[in-house]
Amino acid sequence: MNLAGLFSNSGLPDSVAAIESAALRSDRFRLEREADWQRLEAIVSRMEKGRLRRLSDEDLLALPGLYRTVASSLSIARETSLDAATLAYLEGLVQRAWFVVYGPRSSLWDWLRGFLGGGWSAAVRTIWLDILVALAVMVAGTAVGWLLVAHDVDWYHALVGGDMAGGRVPGATPEALRRTLFGEADRNGMSLFATQLFSNNSQVSILAFALGFAFGIPSLLLLIHNMAMLGAMLWLYNGAGLLVDFAGWLAVHGTTELFAILLAGAAGLHIGRALAFPGNRPVLQATAEAGRRAALVMTGVVLMLIVAALLEGFARQLVDQTFGRFAIGGFMLTLWCAYFFAFRGNRGKVRSA
């Protein structure tokens, strides 16, 4: 048997020689670049542990360059099929360094502090024109609902669904309607109604924002329809001489809830307006910028809806007088207006989710 072909000139089998050659190439590759890898790993480890004071200015300035050098080493290692251990080490180091160089610079608490400390209110002020348009549409929708029912009572059942209306229908006696607002007689029924109203308004808020991509038109139509339902109920209680009492009942959580709907509709309209009128910017760029602002506003809308739910669940149950209800609703409305339009706080940028 001829064994000459199984051995290389060094006297080793070809497969063994190939393995040793690959190992030697990998060792040489590591030795030539290992100093940069170790320096980057030391910097990243200290930053991950929050030991920034131990880093010198030279290390901080060298960090971006070291990251690019190690990323280049990883690319070469993949192309030349170096050993798996080197590849795994470089992949892990590059991933950790990426988060240090390009990842978020703040914790969740820092983001929340910046968000509530001025980021949210600044985003709301940025879309002031859309807020004015949405407010006008909501007022018009309320008036339309009132006038339609006043002209034809059958409109009431078209605007207010059976589950929502319950016993609050045209023809109900003033005493029956009053019991839905005060006392213990129909407390459970009114609680159910408030829950349904909150659920409806939450869905309207989300849809008004989500449908903004269609140039904002569906958002405006949704606001009109939702407020027409409120206008119909205002007409009903006005006919029983209970308009002020019903407004007080609604004010407890309604000033927060309706404000949230207003902002959600304005956020959707803001996106639609950027699509329709991008100005000198490309459509995608204008839409992306508007989307980031609107998303920041909608994050706050979710918080407002949570506050409204707490007010509906506790404050409205505990306060059984119209004046007290107006006091709570008026306080919340003043608080929101002061925060959005008077409070400036930290003007730093808040990274949207």
Which of 75, 102, 129 corresponds to the end of one domain? 102
Indicate whether 227 belongs to any domain. yes
Q: Are residues 315 and 228 in the same domain?
A: yes
User: How far, CA to CA in Å, does 324 sit from each of 254, 333, 341?
Assistant: 14, 14, 26
Q: Is the pLDDT of residue 244 over 50?
A: yes
Q: In this structure, is residue 119 part of a structural domain?
A: yes
Q: Which of 102, 134, 161 is the last residue of a domain?
A: 102
Instruction: Please say whether the beta carbons of 83 and 23 come within 8 A.
Output: yes
What is the C-alpha to C-alpha distance for residues 135 and 124, in angstroms, rounded to an integer?
Answer: 14
Same domain, residue pair 322 and 202 = yes
Amino acid letter, residue 136: A
Q: Which of 170, 155, 171 is nearest to 229 (CA)?
A: 155
Q: Do 194 and 306 lie in a common domain?
A: yes
In the predicted model, is pLDDT for residue 113 greater than 60? yes
Q: Token pair of 3, please?
A: 């064994």
- pLDDT score for 350: 52
Quick one: 132 and 274 in the same domain? yes
For residues 350 and 347, give the distance between their C-alpha atoms in angstroms, rounded to a whole number: 9
Look at 101 and 139; give whichever has higher pLDDT. 139
Mean pLDDT of the chain: 84
- Write down the pTM of the prediction: 0.69
Q: Residues 179, 75: one domain?
A: no
Give the domain range for residue 67.
Answer: 11-102
CA 25 – CA 36 distance, rounded (Å): 18
Question: In whole angstroms, what is the distance from residue 208 CA to residue 261 CA?
Answer: 8
In sequence order, what are the residues at sequence separation of 6 or more whose Cβ sits closer than 8 angstroms to the Cβ of residue 99? none
Locate 339 and state its tokens: 């925060």
H and E: helices and strands count for the chain:
15, 0
On whether both 62 and 185 belong to a single domain, the answer is no
Q: With bands split at pLDDT 50, 70 and 90, how would you rate the model's confidence at 265?
A: very high
Q: Are residues 226 and 321 in the same domain?
A: yes
Rg (CA), the chain: 32
Q: For residue 349, tell me if it sits in a domain.
A: no
User: What gap in Å lies between CA 123 and CA 146, rounded to an integer?
Assistant: 33
Q: Which of 86, 102, 118 is the last residue of a domain?
A: 102
Tally of structural domains, the chain: 2
